[in-house]
Amino acid sequence: MEDLKVIFAQNLAILRKQMKLTQVEFAEKINYSDKAVSKWERGESIPDVCVLKGIADFFGVTIDFLVTQRKEEPVQTTTKYEKTVKTKNRALISAITVFALAVCMITVFVCLQSAFPENIWGNVLSCFVCPLPVCFLVLFIFSTIWSYKKYLKIAFLSAFIWSLILTAFFLIYLISKTAYPLVFLVGIPSQIIILMSYGIIGLKSLRPKNNDENKDENSK
């Protein structure tokens, strides 16, 4: 039992120091006293199974990892706390970026509207429609770098394509004074390519069933 206490003490101290936490800070994270943490790291006592499970979850390891002696130091781990902080920071950065772009768009619109009040539709197009592809492209890049879920990447990339087509539609209309809604048809194959690239649509699902397959289904 004494050996187990020492092994746990060594592993706990190493993991805590890897996260750059003091004993007091670590105790606050797991809702325990710093005196208890100090006793654990001195090898004077070992927590019960419930507390061990909480510590293991915090560091992102198993209970066996905490109580097993190893020659090398425990590998760097990413805890749930760190993951939560990273997720919040990334969401905050994305929100700040979008908000900053929105402020820039509104500021430019106010300036253009003050200078050219008769050209309201051109000002709206220049300030609110044309920048949309840039906004969605930035969000797509963020989601790709930070490995967000697949559906977010698909959503941002799809929004980028369709906003790009929307911008082209309005530019053509302002230049030629003629609407060409058929330009939106370009988005259909683009959307299919996006879905195929992320495995949502496979080639098999696009291939028509032959007669033999239909007969088999009817026989069933």
Kindly report, residue by residue over 42-66, the tens digit of the pLDDT: 988 899 888 999 898 888 888 888 8
DSSP run (H or E) holding 212? helix 211-219
pLDDT digit string, tens, across residues 60-100: 888 888 888 866 554 555 556 667 777 888 888 888 988 99
pLDDT of residue 184: 93
| pLDDT (average), residues 10-15 | 90
- Distance of alpha carbon 41 from alpha carbon 33, whole angstroms: 13
CATH architecture entry for 2-67? Orthogonal Bundle (1.10)
| pLDDT (average), residues 104-130 | 89
Better pLDDT: 199 or 159: 159
pLDDT of residue 197: 86
Reported as a pLDDT band with limits 50, 70 and 90, residue 203 is low
Calculate the CA dihedral of residues 81, 36, 20, 49 and round it to 10 degrees. -50
pLDDT of residue 217: 47
pLDDT of residue 213: 46
Question: 99, 126 in Cβ contact below 8 A?
Answer: no
What burial class does residue 138 get, using C-beta atoms within 10 Å of its C-beta: 0-12 exposed, 13-18 middle, 19+ buried? middle
pTM above 0.85, yes or no: no
Using CA atoms, how far residue 139 sits from 85, 98, 155, in Å, is 19, 8, 10
| Residue whose entry in the numeric block shows the structure tokens 């088999």 | 216
pLDDT of residue 168: 92
| pLDDT (average), residues 129-149 | 86
| pLDDT above 90 as % of the chain | 27
Residues with Cβ < 8 Å from 58, sequence gap 6 or more? 29, 30, 79, 80, 81
pLDDT above 60 for 110: yes
| pLDDT (average), residues 12-28 | 89
pLDDT above 60 for 106: yes
Using CA atoms, how far residue 206 sits from 56, 192, 201, in Å, is 47, 10, 8
pLDDT above 90 for 176: no
Domain ranges of the chain: 2-67, 80-206
DSSP run (H or E) holding 82? helix 80-115
